[in-house]
Amino acid sequence: MQNKVFTLITGSSEGLGKAFAIECAKRGMNLILVALPGPELLALATLIKTNYSVEVVCIARDLCKDESCTELLAEVTALNLQVNMLINNAGIGGTVLFEQGSPLLYERQIRLNVLATTLITRLFLPLLQQHGCSYILNVGSLASFFCLPKKHVYGATKSFVYFFSKSLREELRNSSVQVSVLCPGAINTNPALTLMNKTGNYISRLSVMNPEEVAQVALNGMFRGKEVIIPGRLNNYFMLLDKLLPTFFKKILTRSTMKKLDNNNRLSRYLLPAMATVPIPTSR
């Protein structure tokens, strides 16, 4: 097992992380999948192992908890696994009015999106540096460029990821470690978010991407050594517009879009039952 190299993906049981895992397996990369404890992680690992001849190691861990990042490193070193690629994907999203969001949500968001990303990068950097060529891919968001209502804490944590990744890239310029940051727009990561993405206006609905497309673009970009990866043609136009348009105009646009979002919630009554995350006990 010593001479095999692995790709570590955090938050890999659902959404983009799952798409990353499948896309990496397609490319013949061995995987260390880190996700919350639950049947989803094992089901994914089984699916990948039956379809591709790659090694899959599952580590069930809640990265919001103290010490979980150090424990993760300890477990990986105990298994004597070589890591040459790190995808910091785990994150908590959320679109909620600031006063309506629970303090616990914000705490978990900051812990996972900011702290876990930083700590895991720091802890695994020595392992990554042992290889002639290794990669770190941090998952940011398009929300780190736009100031959006209801995306306050989320946008700020993703801005952290963006800034952190770009700085680290500069620092590691002459080393073997390549750092990239992925800034995707809206993704159909899970059924509830897929429904929510449908409530937007026409243009924003067009910009929604599927996780498997994003994962493919992200990995291509990472291997080509791109600094900032923005998947989707429309999202790139948004960025271009952002650079060209004056600030006051952008503010007007954002406000009208958010207003429309509120009025356009025709599908919202299906959101509540879909969002209910009460796990259904399986009779298996």
Partner 1 sequence: MKVLVTGATGYIGHSLAMTLAKNGNLVHILVRNPNSTLIPQHPLIKVFTGDITKKETIIPAIENCDTVFHAAALVRSCTRRPTDFFDINVEGTRNMLDAALRAGLKKFVFTSTAGVIGPSLNKEMSEDDPRITGFDTDYELSKFLAEKLVKEYAHLGLHTVIAVATKVFGPGINTHPLICINSVIRRFISGRISFCPRPAHYVSNYVFIDDLVQGHLLAAANGRMGEKYILGGENISYVDFFEKLRFVSGMKGIVLPIPKWIAAIRGGLHFILHKLTGKDPFYNSKAVSLIYCNKSFTSDKAKNELGYSITPFTTALKQTIRSLIIESYAKQSIYPDYGVQ
User: How many chain residues are in contact with partner 1, going by CB under 8 A?
Assistant: 31
Q: Distance between CA 118 and CA 132 in Å, rounded?
A: 23
Using DSSP's 3-state secondary structure scheme, residue 61 falls into: coil
Only one of the segments 67-75, 79-87, 104-112, 210-218 lies at the binding site for partner 1 (rule: CB under 8 A); that segment is 210-218
Closest CA relative to residue 18, chosen from 5, 7, 33, 39: 33
Q: Distance between CA 241 and CA 249 in Å, rounded?
A: 11
Only one of the segments 27-35, 89-97, 229-237, 265-273 lies at the binding site for partner 1 (rule: CB under 8 A); that segment is 265-273
Q: Which residues 39-58 are close enough to bind partner 1 by CB under 8 A?
A: 40, 43-44, 46-47, 50-52
Residue 148 Cβ vs partner 1, minimum distance, rounded to whole Å: 22
281 binds partner 1, rule: CB under 8 A: yes
Residue 121 Cβ vs partner 1, minimum distance, rounded to whole Å: 28
Residue 147 Cβ vs partner 1, minimum distance, rounded to whole Å: 27
Q: Which residues 52-91 are close enough to bind partner 1 by CB under 8 A?
A: 52
Which of 69/186 has CB closer to partner 1?
A: 186
Which of 135/185 has CB closer to partner 1?
A: 185
| Burial state string for 214-247 with b = 16 or more CB within 10 A and e = fewer than 16 | bbbbbbebbeeebebbbbbeebeebbeeeeeeee
Q: Which residues 180-209 are close enough to bind partner 1 by CB under 8 A?
A: 187-189, 191, 194-195, 198
Stretch (H or E) spanning 9: strand 5-10
Q: How many CA atoms lie within 13 A of 264 on its CB side?
A: 16
Q: Distance between CA 235 and CA 240 in Å, rounded?
A: 9
Q: Distance between CA 157 and CA 218 in Å, rounded?
A: 20
Which of 62/212 has CB closer to partner 1?
A: 212
Q: Which of 126, 132, 246, 273 binds partner 1 (CB under 8 A)?
A: 273
Q: Distance between CA 218 and CA 22 in Å, rounded?
A: 13
Q: Which residues 222-241 are close enough to bind partner 1 by CB under 8 A?
A: none
Sheet holding 82-88, edge to edge: 56-60, 30-35, 5-10, 82-88, 134-139, 177-182, 228-229
Closest CA relative to residue 258, chosen from 209, 194, 199, 210: 199
Only one of the segments 82-90, 126-134, 237-245, 270-278 lies at the binding site for partner 1 (rule: CB under 8 A); that segment is 270-278
Q: Which of 244, 266, 272, 277 binds partner 1 (CB under 8 A)?
A: 266
Residues that bind partner 1 (CB under 8 A): 18-19, 22, 26, 40, 43-44, 46-47, 50-52, 187-189, 191, 194-195, 198, 210-212, 266-267, 270, 273-274, 280-281, 283-284
